[in-house]
Structures are given as structure tokens and as C-alpha cells.
Structure 1
Amino acid sequence: MSVRLGINPLTWTNDDMPALGGDTPLDTCLAEGKQAGFAGFELGHKFPRVPEKLGPILEKHGLLLVSGWYSSELLTRSAEEEIEALKPHLHLLKSLGASVMVFCEVTHCVHGERDTPLSHSPRMSEEGWKTFIPRLNQVADYCLEQGVQIAYHYHLGTVIETPDEIDRLMAEASPSVGLLLDTGHLVAAGGDPVVVQKKYANRINHVHCKDIRKDVLADVRNRDLSFLDGVLNGMFTVPGDGHIDYTTLFEGLRESDYSGWMVVEAEQDPAVAHPLTYACLGHDNLRRFCAEARLTVDA
């Protein structure tokens, strides 16, 4: 089995805080991502959202579409309403060959609010769980029937953030709901990527690789800062520039025959963290970790 290396445009331009990298053209992101060695990109807010426009742009740069974030609101709308809302996104992914959809429930989320500390992350009530899971299963079944599997993205500042919440999601959701293993969000929420990988090896269908600067994370927690303040202060970085043990994690992925994308998704302030420099660093470190774990990278 082999994996492919991709990147998210957050390295250059930020979706949660559009002022970060706001003047960077999409062509710059794509050209520099290709220069760094990546085979594909996830979507960002500067990407055209119809395949007829985006396909030729990616083809010009010799890149594939990896996946793209979808903001779910299943706590406030029905499964049928959600399916109608996601159809254009699903069509884009399917048309351009992406097999997974990055999916996150954003009802009551706070990660886009700079003045709201992470300690105010929303929590799902029992009634919320009983509403959410059947609706999620219905949406996931529909997407899988269309050839694209949901990769659920637990995320700081949302209703599914902590290891306990991930455990409940995996216990109650149907097998059609895959799990996106995001190393940085898991560590920042008090979890261990190696433990989660071993526990849910058969559910993981997408991997986001972001590293954590421990001192900045501690400061964010100690001073009760927001997610966006954490980003601006440098809480996240590319794999290999923090303290997460990627070699052991990748050994587990090899043993479980993971064959999807490894995506560098490490939001930083591009005025501080030079995008091409960090893209190259992230790519080279991922290749090194794969080699150490004897995980084959698809050329």
C-alpha cells in the first residue's frame, strides 16, 4: 500500500481569518505547493467551486484535488436539508476524483471567533447527540453511495473536539462515517494520535499532519486564549517542527494498510512563517517520516 502527499492552502491563505494571506493569489499557492513537491491540494476559499473551472487550473499545475472542508449544521437542519446543501460540494469532489469529504459539524462553533476563548467550546447535550448521530449517518450513507466517504474532522472550538467525544462519535456513528486523523487538533485537545490511530485504524480515511509548539499551546491554555490567537501566536506548525512522534504514528498507519492522503494542514501567519519555506519543510519531513516508517509514498 502507498500514500500520497498533499497540502492545504492554509499555509498561504487562511479561511478562518481571511486577512492572513489575503493578497496571495491562488496561482502562487498552487505553484509553490507543486514546487515543494506535493501531489495535490485541498480546497480553500480562493478556489473556484465548479469542476469546469477548477479542473483546468489544477491540471495546469500538475496537481490533484485531495478533498475539501464542508461545514455541517445537522444540529439545526434535517439530513435531507443537509444533503441538498452539500450536493454542489459533493459534485465538485466527485467530478475531480476526490474520494473523501472533510466534514465537520459547526453549529455553535467558536474557532472563527477571535474574542472567544477555547474554554468556551460548545458541548453536545444528550438530546443533541440523539439528534446528530442519525442525521449524520443518513448523510454519510448518501455520500458513500455517490462514491465519496465522509472523513469526520474533530476540531478545536466545535462540538466534537476531545478524545471522549471522538470515542462516542465512533461508537455511535455507522461505518459509512470515516474518521479524519488530525494530529494537531488531537494533541491540542489532550489526545494522543498514536492511541487514536490504533483504536480506529479501520475507520481512518484521511490524515491531516500539523505539529504543535508545546510552549505556545500551554500559553494558549494558561491565558485562556482563542483558537485564532493560538494560530497567530504560532501554536501550529508543519510536521517535524514540533514534538509529535510522526514515525511511530506512520508505522501504525502502514500496519493498518492506510492508503490515502497525508496532508500538511498547519495554519500559521504567512507574514511570519514564509509559506514556501514551511511547505518545503513539511513535505521533506513527511517524506522522511514515511521512509523511517517504511511507508511507501506514491510518486
Structure 2
Amino acid sequence: MTPPPFSPPLSRLRIGSAPDSWGVWFPDDPRQVPWQRFLDEVSRAGYEWIELGPYGYLPTDPARLTEETARRGLRVSAGTVFTGLHHGEAVWEKTWAHVADNAALARAMGAGHLVVIPSFWRDDRTGRVLEDRNLTADQWRDLTRLTERLGREVRDRFGLRIVVHPHADTHIDGEENVSRFLDATDPDLVALCLDTGHYAYCGGDSVALIERYGERIGYLHLKQVDPGILAEVVAQGIPFGPAVARGVMCEPPAGVPALEPVLAAAQALDVDLFAIVEQDMYPCPPDRPFPIARRTRRFLRSCGA
């Protein structure tokens, strides 16, 4: 009798990485590595899947980007957009123009997801407070209603699924706000991109979230935070950008949360999920990302991924 083919313990998870793990936050910045180097190094580090990163960092011509990724053995899992939908109808047209460009490129590259990040309540580089950190009831209604609209439009026009990314210094951050957001949105239109680092940064428990809202988890970002630096960040009220520059997001397995139980909980959902390594490192020396990426891929393989 022929034995069944071997399946890795985490066979439902597709591991990738992103420009963020190479210190890329902006379409064009002299402190960031050139896109060609990112593609070369992410492939050499052992990843097969990537995200597009900030629109305009990678080539936006699908034919050229297809050629560049294919010859390095890479495929695209998702695009990323920033939105401020709690501001209501007044921002819809501008938001849609930004989303449509990203979604069109993601679809052309064969991706199935669009990662949606809420806008910051304070500037992620300067720390300047832009608006109140707490939304009013009306703003919550606008946020949930327009996010559902975005999910419907992106699905119907581009065939992509939106996955909303809780993020530090935004209005969708820790357990309370994430639960409120999920409870108020339609599961058929809005899924969650659980970023393990951001959720821990904001005091959340990723395993508990997966166990409670498993049907809403549509995508994963894998990262860890340094608990010592995080304690300083919280105590001193340091904004996210300067916190990253201090090294609050660290190389696994040195930080929290432990990724093994998170990966096991995700595997237990018994659905195919992308699990994209995304270690915030802006700015960083150009030679720093590649060794970290290679070690991280090796670590994830040791976990069965």
C-alpha cells in the first residue's frame, strides 16, 4: 500500500514577505533599497510570495512587473491601501481613486487580496496629532458602512477580497476596537488581516483573536515586538514611526507573540491563508534586511511552515 504524500504541519499557510521587511514605507525614498534589490533578495531568502508594498515602489506596468517577478520565481499575494473612511462620503472619491489603481495592479498580477490599513490619528513619522484617537459614534458608522461598500466594490469590480489591517496609531488597533469593528461589519464583505506584531503592540492576543473570530481571519502578517522597547514606547507615549526606528519590531523568535501557537491556531482554521512576514524596519541600513529575512524563513520552516 502506497503511503499518503507527506504534508507539512502548516500546509494551509502560504509563507511570503513584503517590501516592509526591507525598510520600504514609501514609493520613493533615498533611504530605501532599490526595488530590484528587494526582488533579488526576497527570492534568495527563500520566499515565493510577495506583496506589492506602497504603490509605485515596484513597477506599476503589469507586463514589466510580471517579467521581473517571474524570472525570480515570485508571485504576488496582495496590494496595500491606506484609507480614512471614518471621514465619511467626503473622502470616498479620493479613496476609490487610490484603491482602484492598487486593485487593478494586484488583479493583473494574479493576487486575490487587498490589504486595507486605516489612516493614522497621529503622524507616523513626526508624532503630530492629526485628530482625536477615539472615534465618535457617527464616525464608527461611517467607517463600518464605507468599509463594507469598499469590500463590495473591490469584489465586484476587481474580484479581490479586502482584508482590514489593525494597526498601531489608528482607530482599529487593539482588542476592543477590533472586536467592535468586526461585530459591526458584514463577514461576506470584510475580512481581517491579523498582524501579530501590531496586535501585540496594542495589547492584543493573536491566538485568542483567531479562536474567537476564526471565520473573519482572511490573511496574516507575521511579526514580533520587543517587549522591553514596547514598554518604553507605551510609557513615553512614543509614536509608531519613532518606535520602529528604536527597533520595537524585532526579528523572530526574539519577541512576542510566540509565533508557533499563532501558526498552529491559523492552521486549525483549515482554510488556505497567506502568512506574510512583515518586519517594520524603516529606516534601516541597506545590508540589514537580507540576513534577517533568510533567518526568519529558516525559523518558519522549523515551525513547519
Find the counterpart in structure 1 of residue 247 from structure 2.
Answer: 234
Ranges in structure 2 where 5+ consecutive residues have no aligned partner = 1-10
Change (3 A) 1:30 1:85: closer
Query: What is the match of residue 294 of structure 1?
Result: none
The question of whether the paired residues in 1 share the 8 Å contact of 2:17 and 2:49 is answered with yes
Q: Name the structure 2 match of 1:93.
A: 106
Are positions 1:271 and 2:285 aligned together? Answer: yes
Which residue of 146, 151, 154 maps to 1:143?
A: 154
Across the two proteins, how many residue pairs are aligned to each other? 288
TM-score (norm 2): 0.87
In the alignment, structure 1 residue 248 sits paired with structure 2 residue 258:
no
Q: Is 2:212 the counterpart of 1:202? A: no
1: CA distance, partners of 2:262 / 2:295: 19
CA distance in structure 2 between the aligned counterparts of 1:43 and 1:17, rounded to whole angstroms: 10
Give, in whole Å, the separation in 1 of the partners of 2:161 and 2:220.
14
Given the superposition, is the C-alpha separation of residues 115 and 132 from structure 1 closer, same or farther in structure 2, using an over 3 Å criterion?
closer
Residue 183 of structure 1 corresponds to 196
Tell me the amino acid that sits aligned with residue 153 of structure 2.
Y
Match of 2:8 in 1: none
Q: After the TM superposition, which of the residue ranges 193-202 and 138-147 deviates more from structure 2? A: 138-147
Select 2:67's aligned residue among 50, 56, 60: 56
Deviation at 1:174, TM superposition (A): 0.8
SS at structure 1 position matched to 2:253: coil
Q: 1:142 to 1:188 in 2, by over 3 A?
A: same
- Offset at residue 35 of structure 1 (A): 0.7
Q: Deviations over 1:246-279 (max 9, x none)?
A: 1111111111113121111011243298111110
Separation in 2 of the partners of 1:28 and 1:221? 35
Q: Percent identity?
A: 23
Q: Is residue 114–residue 227 contact of structure 1 (8 Å, CA) maintained in 2?
A: no
Q: Which of residues 151, 165, 175 is equivalent to 1:153? A: 165
Q: Give yes or no for contact 1:105–1:159 (8 Å, CA) kept in 2.
A: yes
Question: Which piece of structure 1 moves more, 70-79 or 11-20?
Answer: 11-20
CA distance in 2, matches of 1:117, 1:84: 26
Query: Runs in 1 of length 4+ with deviation above 4 angstroms?
Result: 16-20
Counterparts in 2 of 1:133 and 1:243: CA distance versus 1, 3 Å = closer
Following TM superposition, by how much is the alpha carbon of 1:216 offset from its aligned partner in structure 2, in angstroms?
0.6
Secondary structure in 1 matching 2:293 = helix
Partner of 1:36: 45
The 1:84/1:223 distance shift into structure 2, 3 A limit, reads closer
* Offset of residue 116 of structure 1: 3.8
Gaps of 5+ in 1: 292-296
CA contact 1:180–1:205 (8 Å) conserved in 2: yes
Do the aligned partners of 1:42 and 1:67 also contact (CA within 8 Å) in 2? yes
**For 1:26, which of 13, 32, 35 is the aligned residue?**
35
1:121, 1:156 within 8 Å by CA — same for their partners in 2? no
User: Does the aligned pair in 1 maintain the 2:23–2:289 contact within 8 Å?
Assistant: no
Per the normalisation by structure 1, the TM-score is: 0.89
Give the deviation of 1:102 after TM superposition.
0.5
- Partner residue of 2:174? 162
